[in-house]
Amino acid sequence: MIPFELTKELVDQILYGMENQDHEYCLDVRSAQVVRCDQCPDPDDPESCIAIPEWRPVDGFNVMESFLTGLRNPVYRENLRAILASGHKVFRRFKDTVRENREIERQWFAHKERRMQAVVYDWYNQLREVWGLDPVVPDYPDTEDLVLFDFSLRQLNCAEEAELTEELRDFDQGSFFEGHRDLPEAVVERLYERYRTGLPDIDEAESVVLVVETPSEELAGFLWAIEEVLGDGSRMSTLAQIYVLPEYRGLGIARTILPRYLQQANARGVVTVVAELQAEARNFAGYLEAEGFRSAAAAYSLNLRRWWEENLPGDGF
């Protein structure tokens, strides 16, 4: 068999042939073209026309399952998992669901292509072993970079965008309640009131708001910081909120917007940045530490009624 180079164009041809369930495709080694097996120039010569890797429906299903393993968006992950478990029109419903969100769809296509390319390269490296050649390693693009490429980031002008500003207020409060869902609502309301008391509002001069938007200019997330001049003349920033809408979580938006803000804050002369993580937001601690933040305080809550029931003293107390 004549050794051939596995170019990107040839990989694309092979992937197309693998997914096409209507015909069987082979590789014409002499022309380095993928053709239908019944149209091979010399079908009697096994050295000139070889079968491309097999791709069955079960392989496609396995790729969908593996996609969910790495999908960090909880909303779409659970919806897609339910579709796979239903066993009813799985492929069509799965594709229709990922198509609802362009970013999730891009992740899916990148994941599927990477998995299929791995099959192609495994097949090709088996041939190279027969030829006495070293295996080649594919250079896969980073999925997260592909997804974030289409997002845009800008600073919000609260005075001119009152409707969006009000929407961010609602998200800020909703995020606080979401993070304290284990506490009674009245307690969370008081905590939120206390947490925001004394802080400038989101539309005041001290506030800096960065918004992340999709290609269709829909809000995907935002960062709200409050920059103030201290008594010694230095500038301090308080990160009041970093919020990503549920349908866009898991795409690395929060990890992208934070360093962008830090760069801008440094240019404005900010010396110290403080971030108070409330309840479930503590999951973000790892990202902060990766940027150089260090833990400075911690807050705890106790359900006293539950504590009393679990530690009810005996008669001799």
- Is the pLDDT at 146 greater than 60, yes or no? no
Q: What is the mean pLDDT of residues 100-110?
A: 86
| 190 vs 277, more confident | 190
Tokens of 278: 């409330």
pLDDT band for position 229 (cuts 50, 70, 90): very high
Instruction: Look over the chain and give the mean of its residue pLDDT values, rounded to a whole number.
Output: 85
Q: What is the pLDDT of residue 279?
A: 58
Choosing among 3.30.70.360, 1.25.40.80, 3.40.630.30, 3.40.50.970, the CATH entry for 152-290 is 3.40.630.30
- What does the pLDDT read at residue 1? 66
Spans of all domains in the chain: 8-51, 57-148, 152-290
Q: Which long-range contacts (CB under 8 A, 24 or more apart) does 171-175 make?
A: 171/222, 171/241, 171/243, 171/245, 172/202, 172/224, 172/240, 172/241, 172/243, 175/241, 175/243, 175/281
pLDDT of amino acid 317: 45
* pLDDT of 278: 67
Q: What are phi and psi of 173, to 5 degrees?
A: -65, -40
**Amino acid 316: pLDDT:** 45
User: Does the pLDDT of residue 152 top 70, yes or no?
Assistant: yes
Q: What is the CA radius of gyration of the chain?
A: 27
In angstroms, the CA 252 to CA 258 distance is 10
Q: What's this model's pTM, rounded to 2 decimal places?
A: 0.56
Q: Under a CB-based contact definition with an 8 Å cutoff, are residues 36 and 25 in contact?
A: yes
Task: Give the model confidence (pLDDT) of 204-220 as tens digits.
Answer: 999 999 999 987 788 98
Residue length, the chain?
317
User: What phi, psi does 233 have (nearest 5°)?
Assistant: 90, -10
* Residue 72 reports pLDDT greater than 80: no
Are 222 and 212 spatial neighbours (Cβ–Cβ below 8 Å)?
yes
